[in-house]
Structure 1
Amino acid sequence: MSRPYAPPGWPSPVRPPDTERWEGTAESWLLDVCPPEYRTYPTLRRHVLVLARFAVLHVEAMQAACRRGLSEARAELRDVASPDVVDAAVDTWLTEDARLSAVRREVGLVEDALRGTRHRPRL
């Protein structure tokens, strides 16, 4: 049997697939990624793969909102903020977009692992 392996981009709070209690750490982390209300839904608490799918869609929606904010920032803010504040807002959107891209990769890797996909280290 091969050793447990977490591929590049795997979230650090989640144990590698096939280790003891890895799905429990995945559930905990996925709940942290999602809105707090998701903790109140019994289906999401009982079915970690369903939770993972919800998390993927939630992160993708946040990415879409971030990209919309970025595309509209200059036009929407130019009359209410100084140019340096608008530039700072754009920089913030760019930073958040990069963060969300990393989270989307992490959530996708966890979802794939819950579906049975296993990665192997490359030499």
Structure 2
Amino acid sequence: MSQPLFTTSPDWPCQVKAPSSHDWERSAARWLRDLLPARYAGYSTLTRHPVLLARHAQLQVQHEMRAVRVALQTSRAELPTLGVAETVIENTIRLYAVELEQLGRLARGVRLVGDALRTDGGGTHRRR
């Protein structure tokens, strides 16, 4: 049997087991939870339903990407008014560019994991 497209992608997170393998949903949920602010660990609706967790993680990463884009786009105009030295501004711009690339990879990984959860039936556990 060939490997699913999800795990053959270079964007598949190494912390998440291959779909349909033993405990893969648990590894996916743990990885997704780690992407969210710590306070979200207390929301059982998210933690019990991996598909919801994936959806929220995707929204969270998208929000972070928007914030970094704004920070990157406004650095040259706003940082000098805060008294930040030019060399620090340049380093900050590089930092934001690297972070944006990392968040892009993370967003692709979240999307792949979410797609795999939906395809493999993740999040279908219903509590009554």
Distance in 2 of aligned mates of 1:52 and 1:28: 11
Q: How many residues are aligned here?
A: 116
Q: What secondary structure does 2:75 align onto?
A: helix
Calculate the aligned-residue CA RMSD, in Å. Answer: 1.1
Secondary structure of 2:114 counterpart: helix
State the AA in 2 paired with 1:93.
Y
Instruction: Name 2:56's counterpart in structure 1.
Output: 54
Which 4+ stretches in 1 moved above 2 angstroms?
Answer: 2-5
Q: Shift of residue 91 of structure 1? A: 0.5
Give the drift of 1:4: 4.2
Distance 1:57 1:44 in 2: 13
Residue 34 of structure 1 deviates from its aligned partner by 1.0
Question: Tell me, which stretches of 5 or more residues in structure 1 are unaligned?
Answer: 118-123
Task: Kindly provide the CA deviation profile for residues 54-79 of structure 1, in whole angstroms up to 9, marking residues without a partner as x.
Answer: 00000000000000000001111012
Per the normalisation by structure 1, the TM-score is 0.90
Tell me, yes or no, if structure 1 residue 78 matches structure 2 residue 80.
yes
Structure 2 unaligned runs (5+)?
121-128
Q: Which deviations, in whole Å up to 9, do the C-alpha atoms of 1:51-106 show, x marking residues without a partner?
A: 00000000000000000000001111012111111101101100100110010000
